[in-house]
Amino acid sequence: MRRWNGWGEEHTEMALAADGARFLQGVLGDGQVLPLASLDSVIKQVPPSRLPAHPLTSCDPELRIRHARGQSLPDWLAMRSGQFERFPDAVALPESAEQIRELLAFAKAQDALVIPYGGGTSVAGHINPPESSKPVLTLSLARMNRLLELDTTSHLATFGAGANGPQVESQLRAKGYRLGHFPQSFELATVGGWIASRSSGQQSLGYGRIEQLFAGGLLETFDGTLEIKGFPASAAGPDLRELVLGSEGRFGVLSEVKMRVSREPACERFYAVFLPDWNHALPAVRELVHAKVPLSMLRLSNTAETTTQLKLAGHPGQIAWLERYLRLRGISSDKCMLLLGISAHPKQLRASLSQAKAILKPHGAVWTGTLLGKIWERGRFRFPYLRETLWQAGYLVDTLETVIDWSGVERLLGALEHSLQAGLKDENEPVHVFTHLSHLYGSGSSIYTSYLFRPGADYKTALARWQKLKKAACEAIVREGGSISHHHGVGRDHAPYLAAEKGERGMAVLQTLAQHFDPQGRLNPGALLLDQGQMQ
């Protein structure tokens, strides 16, 4: 059973090693555990639905609770305190495009708002019912999760847009294929949600971001179905796929999506490499991407993240042994860990490996084989469960991400980390901050920063601390010329910062598109674009 107030399956946990707990206590002080509201107490708060009964909708209070919030930190604070503020009035779980169209017609007739819902893993307030006098219908794609067609000649797979990561990959694997989109939220996030919020998977270096994987599909709108035909490439004017990518449920509901798939790789390995410090590590990874070495993943942790990861990993004996070995090889406390993935035929794997080794050697790299890579691979979708463990230990964790050209990476990273480290100085409260680069391009890189802090005495303090940190970090991103999101999307939390990136004319184009698809502003208002009330 999925947790109603947090991440993932109820009985899955990720332990925090004693060494890790001591480390956190050292950097942040004693944890502060906040009390949890019970599901029963929240069920009692759910108001009567403002929507009439419909055969395709349910007003069950628990279902409404389970679709009321995503996975951002303020969502967690709302769910755990029981202060949800708002719930959808009804939830629908359509099984076909026809039913989606019927539900859109119902919403129109009832003057209701509609929130398309994939896996509900948004970390930017995408799927939270907005404050409105109108009733809210949340439309979950969870039942539209099948592989509908696999064209093995063209390597194209058509899915129901509600298929989540395991459903996508297990149906493809049975036929020897792979999509290769592995966001950390893989367990719950859906292919429709990936497209609608421009997601990026951990192996985007090899498989591409979602925009490279999305070939076409069907968008159900108030005006009928928009069919986006997929071609390998086309010069026939602007590409309509771009209307859907990042549309965040504002223009319509994706019912079917056609994805570019590959054969399962014959061989896949993840290697851990250590570099002496950030000044050696950054040019090293830049050189790797500029040389276009066929790799499927690069993930470079800065010194603070490397230290934190090794402390939280458990196995202190093995880590001490690793650190002794690295010291002997000239790598000490400033070290940066690089995880490098290759997914290929064994011959290609050997060639990529030797090319990567030749490039990294002059930068002082020490290779430690595949053991740490295997540990990472086994736990890659379990890390989100650590958030639960940290909560229980009395610490909050959140992440921020952005992207910028290589010439700005160091500057933006420094400003972002500083904004967070200094963010609670007025309360004399420490914030533990660390960063990695995990989506690298010829022209630049994403920057992914995690920050841990204590909630304070109550939920109000916790939320105020988060708001302060988030604002400082978003302002630093905008000031330094980064994008407000590399892969989490805009949602409601980042919407105030979008205009800085798109400019006045760009925003006008997006508003016009929203107006075209949804003249009455029913589809997910407040996400992506600030709506009239919020702009005043």
Q: Which residues are annotated as a binding site for substrate?
A: 387
Structure tokens at 489: 């999307």
Residue closest to 271 by CA, chosen among 141, 405, 365: 365
Residues 446-505 contacting ligand FAD, CB under 6 A: 487-489
Closest approach of ligand FAD to the CB of residue 418, in Å = 24
Binding residues for FAD: 116-122
Does residue 88 touch ligand FAD according to CB under 6 A?
A: no
Output 183 or 444, the one with its CB closest to ligand FAD.
183
Site string for ligand FAD, 167-196 (x = CB under 6 A): ----------------xxx---xx-xxx-x
Sequence-ordered strand ranges (E) for 39-79: 57-58
Closest approach of ligand FAD to the CB of residue 209, in Å = 8
Instruction: Point out which span in 248-256, 273-281, 348-356, 423-431 binds ligand FAD (CB under 6 A).
Output: 248-256
Q: For residues 118 and 193, is the Cβ–Cβ distance under 8 A? A: yes
Nearest residue to ligand FAD on Cβ basis: 193
Residue 462 DSSP symbol: H
Longest dimension (CA), the chain: 72
Q: Is the dihedral of CA 519, 522, 528, 531 positive or negative?
A: positive
Closest approach of ligand FAD to the CB of residue 162, in Å = 7
Task: Please identify which residue in 123, 297, 404, 478 interacts with ligand FAD, judged by CB under 6 A.
Answer: 123
State the Cα–Cα distance between residues 115 and 285, nearest whole angstrom. 40
Residues in the interface with ligand FAD (CB under 6 A) total: 38
Catalytic residue selected from 177, 271, 385, 448: 448
- Cite the DSSP H helix spans in 302-405: 303-312, 316-328, 346-360, 371-379, 386-393
Does residue 121 touch ligand FAD according to CB under 6 A?
A: yes
Between the CA of residue 297 and those of 169, 192, 336, 373, what are the distances in Å? 18, 23, 16, 11
Closest approach of ligand FAD to the CB of residue 180, in Å = 13
271 is a catalytic site residue: no
Task: Please identify which residue in 120, 135, 444, 456 interacts with ligand FAD, judged by CB under 6 A.
Answer: 120
Cα 82-87-93 angle, rounded to 5 deg = 125
Structure tokens at 435: 């960063």
Ramachandran assignment for 280, one of left (phi > 0), alpha (psi -120 to 50 degrees), beta (any other): alpha
Binding residues: 116-122, 387
Closest approach of ligand FAD to the CB of residue 280, in Å = 26
- Cite the DSSP H helix spans in 162-302: 165-173, 191-196, 204-207, 210-213, 241-244, 278-290
Instruction: Tell me if residue 301 falls in helix, strand or coil.
Output: strand
Q: Is the dihedral of CA 311, 316, 321, 327 positive or negative?
A: positive
Structure tokens at 67: 């679709």
Task: Please identify which residue in 74, 88, 94, 118 interacts with ligand FAD, judged by CB under 6 A.
Answer: 118
Closest approach of ligand FAD to the CB of residue 451, in Å = 15
Task: Please identify which residue in 103, 136, 142, 253 interacts with ligand FAD, judged by CB under 6 A.
Answer: 253
Output 71 or 419, the one with its CB closest to ligand FAD.
71
Does residue 165 touch ligand FAD according to CB under 6 A?
A: no
Sequence-ordered strand ranges (E) for 183-327: 214-221, 224-228, 253-260, 262-263, 267-275, 297-301
State the Cα–Cα distance between residues 278 and 256, nearest whole angstrom. 44
Output 116 or 455, the one with its CB closest to ligand FAD.
116
Output 192 or 408, the one with its CB closest to ligand FAD.
192
Residues near ligand FAD, by CB under 6 A: 7, 70-71, 115-123, 126-127, 141, 161, 183-185, 189-190, 192-194, 196-197, 199-200, 248-249, 253-254, 384, 487-489, 524, 527
What residues act catalytically? 448
